[in-house]
Amino acid sequence: MQLESHRSLSYDLHQWSQGYQSQPHEYDYWIEDIEGEIPLELDGTLLRNGPGLLDIGGYPIAHPFDGDGMISAIAFRQGRAHYRNRYVQTQGYVEEQKAGKPLYRGVFGTQKPGGWLANLFNLRLKNLANTHIIDWGDRLLALWEGAEPHRLDPQTLDTLGLDRLDGLLKPGQAFSAHPKIDPCGDRSQPCFVNFSIQPGLNSKITIWELNLKGKPLRQSTHEIPGFCFIHDFAITPQYYLFLQNPVSFNPLPFLFGLRGPGECIDFDRQNPTQVWAIPRSGNESIKMIEIDSGFVFHHVNAFEEENQIILDSIGYESFPEVEPGSDFRYTNFNQLAPSQLWRFRLDLTHRRGNRQLLEPRCCEFPQIHPQWVGKCHRYVYLGAAHPNQGSAPLQGILKRDNQSGETQFWSSAPHGFVSEPVFIPKPGSEVEDRGWLISVVYESQKHRSDIIILDAQNLEKGPLAQLHLQHHIPYGLHGSWVSK
Ligand code: 3ON
Ligand code: FE
């Protein structure tokens, strides 16, 4: 019985867990070991962020989201590729590397050594700069949603320090790691939209829009009832959309040094999810729509259609709660609710909405063509599990055509494990799926990572090029493409 279920797995849990080994080294080299060919038109740099250290001086961290931010830059020039990785020199990283042990508590359960007494009433969190990296208005920023961004040098990836966007942010102010670039935001010039959450009994959401030079165009602050854990948002030409997961927060175990704040969040299955539609113009009132209970980290996109708003998101039937004391390196995937592609239909006039499952396969890290942000997108690309049902690690890349419902799937199972696929449009093309998908694949048998380039119009023919790195990159979070 046990053997049977083991045999049917597309992965080996121990092999998967090796992708969570720290990568303490910083590299700088031209990638020579390449299968296939890098498209000549692919000219620019893929920047990725994610936790690079899963231990501090040998003390294991409690959750991957608590790991120090490590940036990888893969630069493509005339069919060649160069790899470089650097740690964001956050204050916490510099201090802890010097001390050789954790000096800060993490949001997701990492504690200072010495038991609860060493952690009691110590509420200093470390700005990890580990979630995303984005270039806007001549600033390259490493993002972490709990505090302000770090600015990096685009050539060397040297850390230049905290960046408060010319005084827009207060010291320590949160700044989401999921900004949106509105392709026709300000008089058909692209603009940058991001938010900050100040959680509490009531939570405050501040939203900024910045022009191409990084100067503020609009700013607004809104108070919504209850504690919020909001990782991402969506925009349409007229609205900012926030999905408030049904959660509650009990800070006591955090205060008493027993748990991280992220482990003090409880999912309230009996409460509905609330979607807040905040008008971008400020003339209209905020509207809230309740839908069936569920949990969302990431949104795909949103758009306006006749009298409704469509919001596509990656949903979990229940929050993948972090069991205190459990080891994330040996996650029991069978016990988790799979993350799936959902479509919310929101009727703002009658204040009602519903949700529909678009795709049963477990998936995360959605991407679309950047020109379709806020518009009716046809294609979505995702990291996806190999089996077509149930929860499992991400081993493949999935493309879904929302018009026909058809999917394409490329898998690196049984030994490969994928990261977010970044979509890069083909220069000069207006066709929505004309371009490439680049992902980092952890090749567990070799304990090294590959950079793979797929043709977004035809995933199933397999990678156009597979670049073998000399080392592994621990499982990462988000990245972006910079065409310079
Ligand atoms: O009271 C607040 C509580 C709280 C949770 C205050 C707060 C702002 C400090 C806070 C902090 C939240 C933070 C820092 C959240 C960070 C999240 C993060 C780094 C990553 C989230 C990733 C989400 C997903 C879905 C990752 C999926 C990964 C895989 C499928 C496997 O590779
Ligand atoms: Fe995210």
CB of 229 shorter than 6 A to ligand 1:
yes
Ligand 1 close to Cβ of residue 227 (< 6 A):
no
Ligand 1 contacts CB of residue 65 (under 6 A): yes
pLDDT at 456 over 60: yes
Ligand nearest to the CA of 230: 1
On the question of pLDDT at 14 being above 60, the answer is yes
Ligand 1 closest atom vs CA 262 = 5
Does the pLDDT of residue 422 top 90, yes or no?
yes
Nearest CA to ligand 1 atom 19: 65
Residue (of 16, 7, 3) closest to 392 by Cα position: 16
169 CB under 6 A from ligand 1? no
Contacts 24+ apart (CB under 8 A), 113-117: 113/59, 115/257, 116/256, 116/257, 116/258, 117/257
204 CA → ligand 2 middle, Å? 20
Average pLDDT over residues 116-131: 93
Note the pTM of the prediction, 2 decimals.
0.96
pLDDT digits (tens, 9 = 90+) for 16-41: 999 999 999 999 999 999 999 999 99
ipTM of the complex: 0.95
Cβ count near 415 (within 10 Å): 17
The predicted structure's pLDDT at residue 187? 77
Q: What is the pLDDT of residues 230-253, one digit of tens each?
A: 999 999 999 999 999 999 999 999
Q: Which among 9, 254, 272, 269 is positioned nearest to 110, based on CA atoms?
A: 254
Torsion of Cα atoms, 299 then 453 then 413 then 320, to 10°? -20
**For ligand 1, what atom is nearest to the CA of residue 261?**
3
Residue 330 CA to ligand 2 centre (angstroms): 22
Residue 30: Cβ-neighbour burial (10 angstroms; 0-12, 13-18, 19+): exposed
From the CB of 174, is ligand 1 less than 6 Å away?
yes
Q: Give the nearest ligand 1 atom to 383 CA.
A: 30
CA angle 397, 398, 402 (to 5 degrees): 155
Q: Give me ligand 1 centre to Cα 202, in Å.
A: 20
- Determine the distance separating the centroid of ligand 1 and the alpha carbon of 231, expressed in angstroms: 7
Edge-first strand order for the sheet with 139-143 is 132-136, 139-143, 150-152, 159-162
